[in-house]
Each structure stands twice: as C-alpha cells, then as structure tokens.
Amino acid sequence: MQAFPNQQPPDIQALFSQFLAQLPPAQLEQLTRKSDGFPDIRTESRTHVKTAVAAHWLGRQEQTMRGWASSESGPLRPIRVSGKLAWPVADIRRLLGV
C-alpha cells in the first residue's frame, strides 16, 4: 500500500525550510534554541553573551569563567558591562573551532 498513490511524496526538508523562512526572527531564534535553554552557538546573533551561556558552551563552571576574568589567565577576555561580564561570541567560536 502506497501512502501517496499516483504522486511523489512531499519533500519534507524543503517544506520545513519554507516554513522557517516565513517566521519572524524572534520566533526563529526560539525554535533554534536547544532544549536545555541555552542558545545554539552556531545560530547566536549577539556579539557577547553572559557568563552562564559562555560556560555552557565551553563545558566549564561559571566560577571558572569568573576566575579567568579576574586573573586574566584564561583563553578568553570578557568585557564588563555595568559590572557584569560579557564574553565575546566570536572568540568562543574561534576557540571551539565552530
């Protein structure tokens, strides 16, 4: 028994791509977030991220990231925005080879 008699089955990937192309950017960003609540580094559009996100991407504890910032001994240098650390996405991508 054929699911689509006398016609080709739909190209699911093409249909999904068309669907994604019609979404507003904010909704597309929500859909591309991983289920763990952290954004995917490949689709991240911000230039800098919070310590929690950077730590997640790098597989480190937040305290390790803060230690790197404090001692300036880590592979990345964050900037400070109103006293908060902001980690450069481009440098994280370069470090991870993404």
pLDDT of residue 88: 97
CA distances to 15, 31, 37, 92 from 63, rounded to whole Å, are 44, 29, 19, 17
Establish if 68 belongs to a structural domain.
yes
Spans of the chain below 50 pLDDT: none
Q: How many domains does the chain have?
A: 1
pLDDT of residue 3: 61
Establish if 28 belongs to a structural domain.
no
Q: Are the C-beta atoms of 28 and 40 separated by less than 8 Å? A: no
Q: What is the pTM of this model?
A: 0.64
Establish if 94 belongs to a structural domain.
yes
Establish if 26 belongs to a structural domain.
no
Establish if 73 belongs to a structural domain.
yes
Structural domain span for residue 56: 47-98
Establish if 71 belongs to a structural domain.
yes
